Amino acid sequence: MVRPSLSFLTACLAMLLTCGASFAADTDAADSLPSVRERFAGDDVSEVPDFQKHLGPLMGKLGCNGRACHGSFQGQGGFQLSLFGYDFDMDRKGLLDRIDLEEPAASYAIQKPTLIEPHEGGKRMEVGSWEYNLFLNWVKQGAKPVEGERAQLARLEVIPSEILFTAAGQERQLQVIAVWSDGVREDVTCLSRFQSNDDAIVEITGTGLVTSGDKGDSHVVAFYDNAVVPVPIIRPVTDSIGDKYPQLAANTPIDQHVIAKLSKLGIVPSEVCDDAEFLRRVSLDLTATLPTAAEVEAFLADDGPDRRTRKIEELLERPEYITWWTTRLCDLTGSNAGYLGGTEMAQPVAQQWRDWIERRVRDNIGYDEIVRDMVLATSRPAGQQYGEFTAQQSRFTARSGGDDFTAPGNPMPHYWYRSNQSAARDKVLTFGYTFLGVRLQCAECHKHPFDQWSQQDFQNFMQFFEPVKAGQPPESKEQHDQLATMLGVPEILNTAALRRQSYLRIAAEGRPIPWNEVYAAQAVDLSQPQPAQLLGGSKIDLRMYRDPREPLVDWLVSPRNPWFARSFVNRIWANYFNVGIIDPPDDLNKANPPSNAPLLDWLTEEFIAHGYDMKWLHREILNSRTYQLSWIPNSTNRLDERNFSRAVPRRLPAEIAFDMMTQATRNDRKYAEFVTVLNRRALTIPGSALKARNTNPADYALTVFGRSIRDTNCDCDRTEEPSLLQTIFVRNDGQLLSMIDDDDGWLVQIAHEYNLPFERKSQPEKSDEKKARAGAMRRLKVQIQRIQEQIAAAEEAGKTQQAKRLHDQLQKVRRSAKQLDAPATEDDDKSPTDSESEKTVGTPVVPTWNVMEIINEAYLRTLSRFPTDDELQTAEMYISDSADPVDGVRGVLWALINTREFIVNH
């Protein structure tokens, strides 16, 4: 007896499952009302169309309420509809002026789209068509409005829920079923709108017919009422699917979910990266710091099977981890000194913000608890008197140091104090972006085109934010004014900015000033309901709460919230993989579905189950095989950048790029300091980046490399795209060249160790002291010349005594010039190696010139690996051919910093 092959059995099983799924789908469809295309095909229909279920979606389908037609803000031809529909009252009222209840067929609203009357939008429906009959019947039956207690759309089902194509040009029809809260099921395919998220992969017609295109995966999206449903579309890249797909190690749930998706696509992941690549990648990703040369050598010598896991645990405990992830949370929450007063105290306030978050990252406080304490923050807790508050706040901001702003239990109200979110609408938009990862801008004015939110949803949600104020509460105004009078700030300073500057100078001394506050205002009339509604949630009467943010934050950090944990997990993932599982990571709308929904669901559920533990999330991702894959592609994954089948080389964030250049060029002593003394690094600068080389030497470079200035509700505020300015900076900017030639640099150290001459190639920027010295020297030279002319005139006139006095004066000026022109001898002006050489007794021992050791060190400092044999030979030849060996090393170091391998994380 011939046994059937495994592939044959697999195919049969797949066929049975497909038939079963189709049977279930057909059964569901059979229980549904037929579509209006069928029900209104004739002109003798007595059914009354529903405005929300039928007429509104039909106008959307025909394009009547689009931006280019009557949905525009000025309307068209004196007729305006709500953009994308869903303002049923407005749309019906607009139509009432254009319908004739006595003679429905003569209605202007029906004759225009059929071109019986001229219509700039062209013909939208034929007379006698189902669309025409539906519209006509609504008018015939009295143009009824949407009922107050109407059924709500419970869900939208799209059949099939996933489509797997095997060749280009294959077709599949979608069927869309609306399920209403009263149990009615209706086929609404003909009333739904459709879009493809990638026309190269898949196309879809207005009727829902799906046609496959290029190999790969994407989604088509169905829109009806306020529902948005994506349908995954897959066409395998290779035929390595099913039982042809190789057996791969899937050591973690992350790997299992990733491989499950890749196996459908026929994409084989790259090999695991080598140890040097892993160490550099994880060090930069987790701690924003290059591994030291010694660390690289030690890790490469470690043959323990758990060496990568141990390294991850070690990095999670380093101060650099705390510093970098504090920076990322400051990016997310918008700590920007420019919006915190704009005065000399703005930076200290931004520093408070950073320090507060840093304390909580260090203590590994759950993300939910951090956010709860920010969202619920007021300037003074209940029961604290205004005088006590002002004294404490000034102690927080005193330059000489005072109370600890970061202590557990202390509020952090600065999030609400920013001037760029003073209006309630701005608070809503910022809150949605920061904590939910959703863009609500569209819903502020109209129905969101890609999500469920209507303008009414936005307005209802905004009620939670209206009472949140930054200023002076009425109950403390008298004390505020008394303190202002006592301080005697002149009334002549009649602008708020000038008065604020004067006050903050006093606060810098630790003295109380009339501080403004973040507070929640009480409703004026508690007898009237204050309706508010959570996004996608229940309505809440705000009179029941002392602070309207209480129910808001309870909903926000609830495990049932569909956006809070999900958006944070997705952002962390994007940090490691260049793209989010949902991308862009700050746009969690329903038409932008995850590339791997089971993966995102699992990560979100487990993040919540582990108490929103940020270290757990980092650890879980970093220990996965998926994270540790090589960037080198194979024939199947060369074009894949969304399914995590390989590492994607990515431009480093601005702070990391600048700090890397500094770290790689320092001498050994400064190198060791740099990786341990973090307050000297670009990572720790609070607030936002500046545009020029003024406050901090790193400012200009940070701007060039795209540091977040934290002034928009968009993750794109931090840009990591390459630019011409970045290339110019790394190649020949004076700041970088000065790093290489700096007295504290590695190059000077080499010259000293090998007793070689050092010729500075760069032209470092002069310090203020050197500039002052040069200016004084110019003035002295002018003075000397003037005195010499006076001496000549006195001698010619026979004025001997005057000439003698002028000679004495000339000698004094010349001595001053000589002292000014003498080389500096202070310790601060010496390179570290100078002071070390002075301590050497007798003739120093100069080591033998070891060019290979120097080249190895250069590679370890920059690329965190040893050079290949070819690279070693090339570098050795370049240095040997250089007239000056130190200049040869300079060229090698400069070339390594200018490689793509240095400036990207791979």
Q: Give every strand in the sheet of 202-204, ordered side by side.
A: 171-173, 209-212, 202-204
pLDDT recorded at residue 780: 67
SS3 404: coil
pLDDT class for 642, splitting at 50, 70, 90? Answer: very high
**Closest by alpha carbon to 675, among 362, 320, 358?**
320
**Closest by alpha carbon to 862, among 878, 873, 875?**
875
Residues ≥6 apart with Cβ < 8 Å to 811: none
Q: Each residue of 449-469: pLDDT tens digit?
A: 777 778 888 888 999 999 998
* Residue 214 vs residue 1, higher pLDDT: 214
pLDDT class for 226, splitting at 50, 70, 90? Answer: confident
- Judged against a pLDDT cut of 80, whether residue 819 lies above it is answered with no
List the beta bridge partners of residue 216.
235
Both tokens assigned to 468: 């949140």
Cis omega before residue 160 (within 30°)? yes
For 708-725, what is the mean pLDDT? 77
User: How would you class 325 by CB atoms within 10 Å of its CB: exposed for 0-12, middle for 13-18, buried for 19 or more?
Assistant: buried
Distance CA 192, CA 194 (A): 7
Distance CA 412, CA 357 (A): 9
Interior angle at CA 412, CA 406 and CA 417, nearest 5: 140
Query: Residue 796 CB: number of other CB atoms within 10 A?
Result: 9
| Rounded-to-5 percentages of helix, strand, coil across the chain | 50, 10, 45
SS3 198: coil
pLDDT class for 7, splitting at 50, 70, 90? Answer: very low
For 90-107, what is the mean pLDDT? 90
For 587-592, what is the mean pLDDT? 91
For 86-115, what is the mean pLDDT? 89
Distance CA 841, CA 837 (A): 9
**Is residue 346 within 8 Å of 687, Cβ to Cβ?**
yes
pLDDT recorded at residue 775: 58
Q: How far apart are the first and last CA of the chain?
A: 55
User: How would you class 474 by CB atoms within 10 Å of its CB: exposed for 0-12, middle for 13-18, buried for 19 or more?
Assistant: exposed
pLDDT recorded at residue 523: 59
Distance CA 627, CA 646 (A): 8
Which residue has 């009727």 as its token pair?
207
Distance CA 507, CA 147 (A): 60
Q: Which of 126-130, 442-446, 528-532 has the highest mean pLDDT?
A: 126-130
For 578-603, what is the mean pLDDT? 95
Distance CA 646, CA 577 (A): 9
Interior angle at CA 843, CA 838 and CA 844, nearest 5: 70
Q: Chain-centre distance of CA 655, in angstroms?
A: 14
- Judged against a pLDDT cut of 50, whether residue 765 lies above it is answered with no
SS3 63: coil
Mean pLDDT is lowest, of 30-34, 179-183, 296-300, 765-769, for 765-769
Which residue has 């582990």 as its token pair?
610
Q: Give every strand in the sheet of 153-159, ordered side by side.
A: 153-159, 175-180, 185-187
SS3 155: strand
pLDDT recorded at residue 866: 96
pLDDT class for 712, splitting at 50, 70, 90? Answer: confident
Query: Residue 565 CB: number of other CB atoms within 10 A?
Result: 22
Distance CA 644, CA 605 (A): 20
Interior angle at CA 773, CA 767 and CA 779, nearest 5: 140
CA 116, 121, 126, 129 dihedral sign is negative
Both tokens assigned to 557: 């950090």
CA distances from 314 to 298, 320, 416 (A): 14, 11, 36
pLDDT class for 816, splitting at 50, 70, 90? Answer: low
**Closest by alpha carbon to 904, among 866, 863, 856, 860?**
863
SS3 530: coil
For 710-724, what is the mean pLDDT? 76
pLDDT recorded at residue 2: 37
Q: Each residue of 468-480: pLDDT tens digit?
A: 988 888 888 888 8
**Is residue 876 within 8 Å of 852, Cβ to Cβ?**
yes
Averaged pLDDT of the chain: 84
Residues ≥6 apart with Cβ < 8 Å to 72: 80, 83
For 651-674, what is the mean pLDDT? 92
- Judged against a pLDDT cut of 60, whether residue 9 lies above it is answered with no
Both tokens assigned to 129: 């068509």
Distance CA 607, CA 620 (A): 10
**Is residue 119 within 8 Å of 113, Cβ to Cβ?**
yes
List the beta bridge partners of residue 127.
none
pLDDT recorded at residue 397: 76
- Judged against a pLDDT cut of 50, whether residue 17 lies above it is answered with no
**Is residue 176 within 8 Å of 188, Cβ to Cβ?**
yes
Mean pLDDT is lowest, of 129-138, 193-202, 484-493, for 484-493
**Closest by alpha carbon to 448, among 552, 536, 530, 580?**
536
**Is residue 820 within 8 Å of 777, Cβ to Cβ?**
yes
Residues ≥6 apart with Cβ < 8 Å to 824: none
- Judged against a pLDDT cut of 50, whether residue 335 lies above it is answered with yes
DSSP characters over 740-783: HH-TTBHHHHHHHHTT------S-PPPPHHHHHHHHHHHHHHHH
Inter-residue long-range contacts of 725-734, CB under 8 Å, 24+ positions, other chains counted = 726/903, 729/701, 729/704, 729/705, 730/661, 730/897, 730/898, 730/903, 731/898, 733/701, 734/762, 734/763, 734/764, 734/765
Distance CA 668, CA 832 (A): 10
For 519-547, what is the mean pLDDT? 79
List the beta bridge partners of residue 519.
469
pTM: 0.83
- Judged against a pLDDT cut of 60, whether residue 12 lies above it is answered with no
Both tokens assigned to 51: 């405005």
pLDDT recorded at residue 66: 80
pLDDT class for 530, splitting at 50, 70, 90? Answer: low
Mean pLDDT is lowest, of 171-185, 555-569, 696-710, 816-830, for 816-830
Distance CA 555, CA 435 (A): 12
Both tokens assigned to 225: 């009422």
pLDDT class for 676, splitting at 50, 70, 90? Answer: confident
Q: Each residue of 771-803: pLDDT tens digit?
A: 555 656 666 676 787 778 778 877 777 777 677
Distance CA 281, CA 576 (A): 9
- Judged against a pLDDT cut of 60, whether residue 3 lies above it is answered with no
Mean pLDDT is lowest, of 126-130, 465-469, 529-533, 566-570, for 529-533
Q: Each residue of 26-44: pLDDT tens digit?
A: 445 557 899 999 999 998 8
SS3 158: strand
H runs (alpha helix) in 230-385 = 253-265, 275-287, 293-301, 307-316, 319-333, 346-362, 367-375
pLDDT class for 698, splitting at 50, 70, 90? Answer: confident
Which residue has 């990016």 as its token pair?
331
Query: Residue 486 CB: number of other CB atoms within 10 A?
Result: 10
pLDDT recorded at residue 609: 98
DSSP characters over 203-230: EE-TT-EEEE-SSEEEEEEEEETTEEEE
